Amino acid sequence: MLLTGVTGFVGEALLHLLLTEVPGVRLSVLVRPKGSISGADRIAKLLAKPIFETVADAQVGVVEGDLSDPPPLPGDLDAVVHSAGDVSFDPPVDEGFTTNVVGVRELLRRIEETGRDIHYLHVSTAYVSGRRRGHIPEGPVEHAVDVDTELAWGLAQRAAAEERSRSVEVISRLRKQAEREHGRAGLITAAAATEEARKKWVKDELVRLGAERARSLGWTDCYTFTKALGERVVEAYAATGHRATIYRPAIIESAISRPHPGWIEGFKMAEPLILAYGRGELPLFPAAADTAIDIVPVDHVVASIVACLAHPPAHGEPAYFHLASGDRNPVTFGMLYENVRAYFSKEPFAAGDRGAARLPEWTFPGGASVERMMATGEKVHKIADTLLGLAPRSDRTRSWARALDRQGRRLKFLRRYLDLYKEYAQADLRFVDANTLALYRSLSPADQETFAFDTGVIDWHDYLYGIHVPSVTKPVRELDELRKLRKKPVPGRLPRIAAGSEGSTGAEAEKSRVAAFFDLDGTLMSSNVIETYLWLRLGELSGTRKAAEIARMAGKVPGYVWSDRAERSSLLRTVYKEYAGARLSELDAIVDEHLTAHILGRLAPDAVRRIREHRAAGHVTVLVTGAIRPLTRPLLPLFDHIEAADLAVDDRGFCTGHLASSPLVGESRGAFVREWSRRESISPADCFAYADSHSDLPLLAAVGHPVAVRPDVPLFRHAKRSHWPIADWGSPAHTTRTLDPVGRSAR
């Protein structure tokens, strides 16, 4: 016997049953290599699982290959069970056709090549019936779809979607959106985001095409559509005189008894919904309380497959079997809800420090009402997210971002699963299982006990409340406990570099060097270029002139904000024009005489502590800032190198209002880190960087150890997605914010 799909849920259960209860069977498995892991190694790893402990000496032949182009099969086969396939409801259309149609056709071609009388058992799904209603017989699905035409169309869609994704309309829209979101970080960063968005557009388009084509022909989704076409391939094969069984299980869930109660691998259809409900995150569902959800335990599935193998059909006449429960012993969504709610009422999930998660009460309002509520929630979330982007940076803004992101993830989860499952939740289907029941009743009493698959005798309360829900929540509870033990992600202990350690060569010492790059404004201290300009300017003016200068600068703030959102270098150049006519030496003197204490007093204590930790560890400390160099003079003792903005001066030492070189912002910072590290023989992968703004993303991305410090909302979200540490370096408690520190010190 040859099995496919043994690394999947059903295939693994079938392999276990055959090895433990079918003596004398000689098994081969078709498995594809996965990356650098060979098919043989994958099977060895599979057989090392606990459920195979009693059959550790089992001999399983491995045929390595992919279903789309399988290798020649063993020449002594009597049966082939094909359970491999794309089980995603919404695969990209070309992938769905490749797996569920091309894979079937190529496997049958290899079976024919053996020249043997092989019984082929094809594992399909009961839902190939599509959008039909009522009783579904065990027989061919009636449709007039041309398999070859649809297959050719489906396989051609990736190339077509790739071409459309590069059209002016699509690429221009994606580019403009990326530049709005990432322009402050730099146009190359925005270009990379554009390409990622284009790839996502292609995948989403392929998913959409598959779903729409399936529904236009009467199926719920691309999965059931391509599985139905795969059945046509099997039927054509059987019509040429071969023996074939088409086996259709309903929704497969955890085992009722074998290999042990509740055994399950991965998340199937119901598990994400059960877990989301237990966490209080599934407030509604588009099903009627009396609609059946056709569930079958996986051990019933594989037991009935073995029974089908023992009773092959006649040549040229395919046999059909449903393994379902909805016709004779239905589980309704109301029953599922009551059992799941009862379980979590007794064994609740914890909701952080707030105690037990609050369980939603379902009223089953119907699909139309659920869709209206979802649409309203999505619209409100979009408006709130837009307003958040306009809010000033603060702890409260980040708190709003966290809450809004949680709500967004919840809405995306709901939208995905409601869209995927609403067809199944609203389907009024009764899968007739007369052939399967007759097969079961034909077995001897001993075989009926060993290979139990009469779904009509299942006690659903015992199964759902006592077996299934506890089994799917157990690993999640264990993971929650591990998360509690984890510390909040913060920068860890720094690797210490021992300068000139005994026995180390010069090359080894250079190789071990590490640098730490720090941003200034918003990272080491809460300041900005307008504020620091006023520190220097107001010290020269009298009281009335000070008020006039503050009012003048306040009137320019909207323009400055616009420049900053468009491109940070524009803001710096605009503000630094205000220094025109100032003597550079006098700016140095103002900082040295009046601002040093103020600047040092504004530094976040945690930031200073971190800089000193890096210096104590032997690291090179580097300040990378867009602030003008005079303002960095008080920080010279903390840093080995300072890269700041240098004001251009004329031959008399007066500032011209221009910079001596382009400001170091956005992607220029990433380029500086790479080039400076190269000159210093330091690997950026070993270095650290600390910054607060999305415009600093290239700086953070250039090193191996990025840390977001009190980040703005876009950087906060990127750091969360990238699992970067987030530090909260607060301002000194004793510091009062003033625009005129020189005047205060003079008084």
pLDDT in tens, 304-341: 999 999 999 999 999 999 999 999 999 999 999 999 99
Domain topology for 506-746: Rossmann fold (3.40.50)
Distance CA 571, CA 540 (A): 23
Residue 209 pLDDT exceeds 90: yes
Alpha carbon of residue 54 to chain centroid: 37
Three-state helix/strand/coil letters over 622-680? EEEEEEEHHHHHHHHHHCCEEEEECEEECCCCEEEEEECCCCCCCHHHHHHHHHHHHHC
pLDDT class of 505 with cuts at 50, 70, 90:
very low
Residue 543 pLDDT exceeds 70: no
Percent pLDDT > 90 in the chain is 57
Query: What confidence score (pLDDT) does residue 500 get?
Result: 38
Digit-coded pLDDT (tens) for 666-691:
889 999 999 999 999 999 999 999 99
Query: What confidence score (pLDDT) does residue 5 get?
Result: 94
Distance CA 313, CA 714 (A): 62
**Secondary structure (3-state) at 190:** helix
Structure tokens belonging to residue 77: 């086969």
Residues for the chain: how many in total? 747
Structure tokens belonging to residue 500: 């000139």
Q: How many CB atoms lie within 10 A of CB 117?
A: 12
Query: What confidence score (pLDDT) does residue 421 get?
Result: 72
| Nearest of 675, 270, 668 to residue 473 by alpha carbon | 270
| Nearest of 327, 426, 101, 119 to residue 231 by alpha carbon | 101
Burial of residue 438, with CB atoms counted within 10 A of its CB: 0-12 exposed, 13-18 middle, 19 or more buried: exposed
The amino acid at 222: C
Q: DSSP label at 341?
A: H
β-pairing verdict for 647-649 and 655-659: antiparallel
The amino acid at 11: G
Mean pLDDT (whole number) for 128-153 = 94
Place of tokens 């004398």: 24
Residue 489 pLDDT exceeds 70: no
Mean pLDDT (whole number) for 187-203 = 94
pLDDT class of 486 with cuts at 50, 70, 90:
low
Residue 498 pLDDT exceeds 50: no
Burial of residue 286, with CB atoms counted within 10 A of its CB: 0-12 exposed, 13-18 middle, 19 or more buried: buried
Three-state helix/strand/coil letters over 686-698? HCEEEECCHHHHH
Place of tokens 């051609």: 156
pLDDT class of 503 with cuts at 50, 70, 90:
very low
Residue with the bigger pLDDT between 382 and 693: it is 693
Give first-to-last CA distance, the chain, whole Å: 94
- Annotate 578-614 with b (16+ C-beta within 10 A) or e (fewer): bbeebebeebeebbeebbeebbeebbbeebbebbeeb
Phi, psi of 647, rounded to the nearest 5 degrees: -80, 135
Give the CA count within 13 Å in the CB-facing half-sphere of 664.
22
Inter-residue contact 400 to 388 (CB < 8 Å) = yes
- Lowest mean pLDDT segment, chosen from 451-465, 487-501, 652-666: 487-501
Alpha carbon of residue 382 to chain centroid: 20
Residue 437 pLDDT exceeds 60: yes
Task: Give the chain's mean pLDDT.
Answer: 87
Digit-coded pLDDT (tens) for 72-121:
999 999 999 999 877 677 899 999 999 999 999 999 999 999 999 999 99
Q: DSSP label at 494?
A: P
Inter-residue contact 298 to 17 (CB < 8 Å) = no
Distance CA 252, CA 200 (A): 30
Query: What confidence score (pLDDT) does residue 689 get?
Result: 96
Task: Name the segment(s) of the chain with CATH classification 3.40.50.1000.
Answer: 506-746
**Secondary structure (3-state) at 357:** coil
pLDDT class of 502 with cuts at 50, 70, 90:
very low
Distance CA 47, CA 62 (A): 12
Structure tokens belonging to residue 532: 């620091």
Mean pLDDT (whole number) for 344-351 = 89
Distance CA 77, CA 117 (A): 8
pLDDT class of 506 with cuts at 50, 70, 90:
very low
**Opening angle at CA 294, ends 291 and 295, nearest 5:** 135
Q: Which residues pair with 643 in a beta bridge?
A: 624
Distance CA 454, CA 140 (A): 23
**Secondary structure (3-state) at 320:** strand
pTM for the full predicted model:
0.79
Query: What confidence score (pLDDT) does residue 550 get?
Result: 66
**Secondary structure (3-state) at 287:** coil
Phi, psi of 32, rounded to the nearest 5 degrees: -95, 145
Residue 612 pLDDT exceeds 50: yes
Query: What confidence score (pLDDT) does residue 403 get?
Result: 76
Query: What confidence score (pLDDT) does residue 665 get?
Result: 85
Inter-residue contact 245 to 119 (CB < 8 Å) = yes
| Nearest of 684, 520, 712, 682 to residue 611 by alpha carbon | 520
Query: What confidence score (pLDDT) does residue 538 get?
Result: 67
Q: How far is CA 385 from CA 378, 406, 644, in A?
A: 10, 12, 34
| Nearest of 498, 525, 530 to residue 514 by alpha carbon | 498
| Nearest of 292, 301, 294, 310 to residue 247 by alpha carbon | 301
Q: DSSP label at 206?
A: H
**Opening angle at CA 460, ends 456 and 461, nearest 5:** 150
Alpha carbon of residue 16 to chain centroid: 32
Inter-residue contact 222 to 105 (CB < 8 Å) = no
Query: What confidence score (pLDDT) does residue 736 get?
Result: 62
Mean pLDDT (whole number) for 53-63 = 85
| Nearest of 702, 659, 668 to residue 683 by alpha carbon | 702
Residue 510 pLDDT exceeds 50: no
Inter-residue contact 689 to 709 (CB < 8 Å) = no
